[in-house]
Amino acid sequence: MNDEPLSVLVVEDDPHVLLGCQQALALEDIPSIGVGSAEEALQKVGADFPGIVVSDIRLPGMDGLQLLARLRERDAQLPVVLITGHGDIAMAVQAMRDGAYDFMEKPFAPERLVEVVRRALAQRALSREVGQLRRQLAGRQALESRLIGRSPAMQALRELIANIADTSANVLIEGETGTGKELVARCLHDYSRRQAKAFVALNCGGLPESLIDSEIFGHEAHAFTGAGKRRIGKIEHADGGSLFLDEIESMPLNLQIKLLRVLQEHQLERLGSNQLISVDCRVIAATKSDLAAMGRDGSFRSDLYYRLNVVSLQLPPLRERREDILMLFEHFLQQSSLRFDRPAPAIDNATAASLMAHDWPGNVRELRNVAERFALGLSALSGGQGPDASEPRFAEAVEAFERSLLQSALERHAGNLSQAAGALGMAKTTLFDKVKKYGLA
């Protein structure tokens, strides 16, 4: 479940009261963090903060009620306990109606603080566990319809995505062009607690170097020639959500330094401004290059690589999961036929063999293109537009086709070997041997 220990963020501008609260919690082995303002608190609390907040209502700058509202925007399940003065009781009652977990009136005994905190932490632990279980269950069920394939590589990929989607860990997706890196990034966002916030995608290789700084970090009006008004950058726009940086290897070195600072400090400065802006976004980067090798030769910052590569997802090329080809092709063919308002043409044995034999240098993107041509009745499998049935790797293609056929039969008959063997027209012992050979479930 959630491995991060729950802690208490205490927001109090009186240093003596703050120290007393933290000491009372420390005596009960409850970890805490102390800050003196609501603004500091917002820098500490992201969309998946592992703990609760105890805050005074009377604070310099933003007060406790405003802090409550901001925190509930980020996480409606986050327990917030308010500390009130004698004259603030009516205000505290209204805050309870607005979603505060509880309130304590000054002066309060340390035992009262510990009691309220323990109850709030218990509720937080339960809500986080229930939320994560629900998201994992929904994610596992939905991932099979989005990341299609029964190959071991795809099964392992779906399992890993379901396990890490609901964490705050940055992710590096590695794979060839056309393997579906942005689709994986969207799945990571959609099955996390950040799903209600923005998913912001940016191709670092698709912008001129003169614009990428402004595009990512934003700028103030008149920060440079042509900057007529303030622009909110991609990172700031992704606050509370996820930022997807495709072709991260194309980012200029000077901007890599700025991005690294944002990842470390959770703050940024727009071009032309000296004001620090707090941001909380999960960064998902994608590359078709070997960033570790680029780090060694100096063309990519190694410190940024390690900051991004908390979790690495390797997307296999289509030629390494041939048993998924026909399933994917049929899926794309049905989609294309619906879009073109045409009946889906049948896939004959020659077409299937040709699909299985092709090397697919363009990966899933190329396969989708071939399916679209096939749905239109065009000769998608010849003329240099698609696979050629005379290509090599025949034995490899046959094995992948056989594995796919056997797996489908087993799934249709709920794993019953006798029924599957009868449907396939083979002896049960032969099917058993092939199940062992291919490692089928």
Task: Please give the pLDDT value at position 389.
Answer: 42
186 and 253 share a domain? yes
pLDDT confidence tier of residue 206, bands split at 50, 70 and 90: confident
Residue 393 has pLDDT above 50, yes or no: yes
Task: Please give the pLDDT value at position 382.
Answer: 52
For residues 314 and 317, what is the distance between their CA atoms, to the nearest angstrom?
9
pLDDT confidence tier of residue 394, bands split at 50, 70 and 90: low
Domain containing 258 equals 147-316
Residue 139 domain-assigned? no
Residue 26 domain-assigned? yes
Residue 388 has pLDDT above 50, yes or no: no
Residue 1 domain-assigned? no
Residue 181 has pLDDT above 60, yes or no: yes
166 and 306 share a domain? yes
Residue 403 has pLDDT above 70, yes or no: yes
Instruction: Give tens-digit pLDDT for 129-148.
Output: 777 777 666 656 678 888 99
Q: What is the mean pLDDT of residues 117-137?
A: 82
Total domains present in the chain: 3
Residue 391 has pLDDT above 50, yes or no: no
Residue 383 has pLDDT above 50, yes or no: no
How confident is the prediction for the chain on average, in pLDDT?
87
Instruction: Give tens-digit pLDDT for 213-249.
Output: 888 999 998 888 777 888 899 999 999 999 999 999 9
122 and 164 share a domain? no
121 and 57 share a domain? yes
